[in-house]
Amino acid sequence: MSRHHPDPGLLGEMLKVAAAPDYARWEDQIRRTGGCSDPIHITGWTVAKDKTSGEVLHRYSTGHEPGARLRIACGNRRASRCPACAWTYSGDTYHLIRAGLAGDDRRAIPATVREHPRVFATLTAPSFGPVHNRPTGRACRCGQHHQEGASELGTALDPATYDYAAAVLFNNHAGQLWQRFTTRLRREIAASAGLTQRELIEVARISYGKVAEFQKRGAIHFHAVIRIDGPVGPDTSPPAWATTELLDASIRAAMVHAYTSVRVPAAGDHPARALRWGTQLDVRPIKAFGDGSDVTEQAVASYVAKYATKAAETTGATDTPVHCRKCRGAGLSTRYPHPGSTLSCCTRCRGTGLGEDLAQLAIPEHARRLMTACATLQPLYPDRMLARWAHMLGFRGHFSTKSRQYSTTLGALRQTRADYRAAQEREARGLADAEPDTVLVLASWQYAGHGHSPGESVLAATIAHGIQLNRQTAREALQGEQHE
Ligand SMILES: [Zn+2]
Ligand SMILES: [Zn+2]
Ligand SMILES: [Zn+2]
């Protein structure tokens, strides 16, 4: 987090906020959002009544809150949009991946998953043309030694020949490629075990927790924890034949199998393509404790959490959509044309599907070319919604996903947190003993805006910073414990 040097006007505004009679209550609200930088404001009321007696147990209205509103966290997972909420999301992802690796007694993933065969695999995109890089001990192909973090890293050596179209089509189909990979993987595992697919389901389940990450060149790649469980998931032991070696070999076989590819038909002057994963596959067994050669549970969970909050911003692309809101990026006047009707262009974007002029955006040239490729391909592959996802360089999938059996869900973690807060709230109001289903809750809430004033914004950032320091300390203490 950067140091703030507020100008005198801002300082005055901060002091005004901090000196307000309801500052303590405002600070409490912001603390509850985790220091959210763009909280949602709501107004309204809630009444809790005893169902049988009708007695009012609790009454709350935002009328007594600062500015007569309640501020709640925006929940944005992008660090560029809200560092505080992204940090919460990253922490949740960490717990989610870790639970799937080491078990979690509070959330019913048994610690015996540690004995299941599991690996950390990285699936990358193929090459779309040479890019500037920093090979160890050598110069880049352009003849220069680039500095670490230099802006030209990951950009095309020759923009005239770099296949920007293939790059965004790969990102756009990455979800399907993953699907094909997992389907093929089950077949490979079954074949190695000498079983049919149906027999495999009777004895073992394959589960995944994965995150997507953009490489500097703007290509999506996946980091995945892949685990073999018993027939009913993490609670059951995998069969004796299920070894880490078998899992490793099956992943490698599935990656190169012809089935693990997606065909994109020819359109306009673009050729038909068969999209495949790149040849750089990294598969590492996960051990509970590091012995040097393998990755540890802790390292995997931290690694995955780190990438969970990064979107295409790492490549310099915009962090908000750039498509035309009227036609939702389709470029057409109607979203559901009747058969036989003539399609006409959207009147707002004139058929480009864009809501912004890409040439005018202050973004690096490489990102601009990738986003432009999305717009160019939009009319050729309308069902791929490339203009809609241009700010993600064509990628339309979720950043962290997991199979149902892998571990707890982000939703469950949010629920746990919400339950905890609700319990705290009830306790604070002397309702702790009330049986939940004998209480009738009536409520009415309205959206009343979002954000902070400049002075509030600085104070919220300070609160977020404090919370983060505390949580970081707690997380490190937990990690220390596990290394003992
Ligand atoms: Zn937020
Ligand atoms: Zn270079
Ligand atoms: Zn439009």
DSSP characters over 266-315: -BTTBPPEEEE--S-EEEEEEESS--SSSEEHHHHHHHHHHHHT--GGGG
Q: How far is the CA of 360 from the centre of ligand 1 (A)?
A: 28
Q: Considering every ligand atom, which ligand is closest to the CA of 155? A: 2
The number of distinct structural domains making up the chain is 3
Taking the model in full, what pTM does it have?
A: 0.72
Report the pLDDT value the prediction gives residue 338, as an integer from 0 to 100: 58
Output the CA 154–ligand 2 centroid distance in Å: 9
* pLDDT reading at 59 higher than 60: yes
**What mean pLDDT value characterizes the chain?**
81
Which residues lie below 8 Å from residue 336, measured CB to CB, with a gap of 6+? none
Q: Are residues 109 and 245 in the same domain?
A: yes
Is residue 420, in this structure, part of any structural domain at all?
no
Answer whether residue 3 is part of any domain: no
Residues 218 and 105 in one domain: yes
User: Which residues form the domain of 177?
Assistant: 83-142+149-317+394-408
370 assigned to some structural domain: no
What confidence score (pLDDT) does residue 2 get?
43
217 Cα–ligand 3 center, Å:
29
Residue 284 is encoded by which pair of tokens? 């590492």
Q: Is there a single domain that holds both residue 189 and residue 325?
A: no
Where are the extended beta strands (E) located within 62-136? 70-72, 118-123
**Each residue of 318-330: pLDDT tens digit?**
777 889 988 888 8
**Both 224 and 313 in a single domain?**
yes
Residue 91, in any domain of the structure: yes
pLDDT at 484: 36
Residue with tokens 């923009």: 159
pLDDT in tens, 199-246: 999 999 998 888 788 888 999 988 888 999 999 888 889 999 999 999
Whole-number Å distance, alpha carbon 413 to ligand 1 midpoint, is 17
Q: What is the pLDDT of residue 151?
A: 86
Looking at residue 420, its pLDDT comes to: 59
DSSP symbol at 115: G
* Position 228 in a domain: yes
Alpha-carbon gap, residue 174 to 182, rounded angstroms: 12
Per-residue confidence band for 1, with pLDDT thresholds at 50, 70 and 90: very low
- Collapse the DSSP code of 243 into the 3-class scheme (helix H, G, I; strand E, B; otherwise coil) and give the result: coil
Distance (Å) from CA 147 to ligand 2 centroid: 10
* Among the bound ligands, the one closest to the CA of 84: 1
Tokens representing residue 455 in the block: 């002075």
CB 463 within 8 A of CB 30: yes
User: Would 2 be classed as within a structural domain?
Assistant: no
Tens digit of each residue's pLDDT (9 = 90 or more) over 74-93: 877 777 788 888 877 777 77
Confidence of residue 41 (pLDDT cuts 50, 70, 90): confident
Q: How far apart are CA 427 and CA 159, in angstroms?
A: 62
**Same domain membership, residue 132 and residue 198:** yes
Give a yes or no: residue 331 inside a domain.
Answer: yes
Distance in angstroms between the alpha carbons of the first and the last residue of the chain: 31
Residue that wins the pLDDT comparison between 332 and 390: 390
- Nearest ligand to the C-alpha of residue 81? 1
Find the 142 Cα to ligand 2 centroid distance in Å: 4
pLDDT tier for residue 291 given thresholds of 50, 70 and 90: low
- For residue 33, the CA-to-ligand 1 centroid distance in Å is 7
Nearest ligand to the CA of 142 is 2
Q: Could you tell me if residue 208 is inside a domain? A: yes
pLDDT digits (tens, 9 = 90+) for 330-367: 888 765 555 555 567 888 888 888 988 998 988 899 99
Beta strand 118-123 with 261-264 is unpaired
Separation of CA 307 and ligand 2 centre (Å): 26
| Pairs from 94-97 (Cβ < 8 Å, separation ≥ 24) | 94/301, 94/302, 94/304, 94/305, 94/475, 95/301, 95/408, 95/413, 96/209, 96/400, 96/402, 96/407, 96/408, 96/409, 96/410, 96/413, 97/209, 97/225, 97/300, 97/301, 97/304, 97/305, 97/407
Does residue 28 sit in the same domain as residue 92?
no
Asked whether the predicted pLDDT for residue 286 surpasses 90, the reply is: no
Residues 355 and 446 in one domain: no
Relative to the alpha carbon of 309, which ligand is closest? 1
